[in-house]
Structure 1
């Protein structure tokens, strides 16, 4: 199994709304590991995605990576060096921009409970997020792909929904 080769501390990165939190939760459930959603550490619970102070987020992040087993989703590249120092593997999701946009709108309009959601929070459509997905994510996607080939840990790159669905099936994961 591919998950066995990636080890007990996994990072899941990729574009916004690419399925990182859902995958992390599925892996955590299957392996009995905590799924750590960086969005939940970065933002205040019960808010409309209001960030915590940077030092508070960094303290929560650094405490979480000390565990022996975890699967952690989110990018937050400012803290990536600490995460990589403890990680044993990385899964990089790469879905089309249109998929990310659709998933964002779907979660804002139709989903009331989802992996990685803020406790007591509610997703709402924001122009900044639409812009981030449609514009900023393209450069990030290239940057993450270039970074992945230089990492000292095993990397699994899943490009597109078909590859992601195959991974779920082959690893016996449930969404």
Structure 2
């Protein structure tokens, strides 16, 4: 599958800390697609990752998906149906729980201002996120796999870090280094 075949509205979904934000930023730069990190819509800026009221998140989300062209990364099942209805292609990412956890710890300890980070927020190790990675993520993986199976449009499955590296090379993507 070529990147162009995914069309002008691409959703990237997958486990936390799987590389969604970085891949979305790389595609955004190469294709000049407006980029939306759903974490930034869901959480209040300049907070310690405090969620917005659901109605506010949904209003921001629904406004973003109305555009003709975009790349959007993140999950948030409350908004998934309307996002997928507008998407022209999807990328489903898969990484092991161990790798997700290692990336989360690295991000919190060594990568302030990482791609997709929340404006004005300081990442810190949170038990709730570790619990999410260890308990909720395996269940979510099954949902993402089913979503991939059921999707009738153009789609790409990246099953691990090697697939992710290969797609960067295949699509000629440059790994972004600064926060977007």
Provide the TM-score with structure 2 as the length reference.
0.95
> For 1:166, what is the secondary structure of its paired residue?
helix
What residue in structure 2 maps to residue 138 of structure 1?
138
Deviation string, structure 1 residues 114-148 (Cα, Å, up to 9, x no partner)? 11100111111000100111111011101110121
CA distance in 1, matches of 2:126, 2:79: 25
Q: How does 1:58-137 map to 2 (within 5 A)?
A: 58-137=58-137
Deviation string, structure 1 residues 5-56 (Cα, Å, up to 9, x no partner)? 1101000000000000111111000001111000000000011100000000
Q: How many residues in Structure 1 have an aligned counterpart in Structure 2? A: 175
> For 2:150, what is the secondary structure of its paired residue?
coil
Dislocated runs of 4+, deviation >4 Å: none
Alignment RMSD, CA only? 0.9
- Identify unmatched segments of 5+ residues in structure 1: none
What residue in structure 1 maps to residue 57 of structure 2?
57
Deviation string, structure 1 residues 75-107 (Cα, Å, up to 9, x no partner)? 001111110111000000000111100000001
The answer to whether 1:156 aligns with 2:151 is no
What residue in structure 2 maps to residue 22 of structure 1?
22
CA distance in 1, matches of 2:119, 2:17: 18
CA distance in 2, matches of 1:134, 1:28: 30
Provide the TM-score with structure 1 as the length reference.
0.98
- Identify unmatched segments of 5+ residues in structure 2: 176-180
> For 2:143, what is the secondary structure of its paired residue?
helix
CA distance in 1, matches of 2:153, 2:79: 16
CA distance in 2, matches of 1:143, 1:70: 23
CA distance in 1, matches of 2:157, 2:11: 12
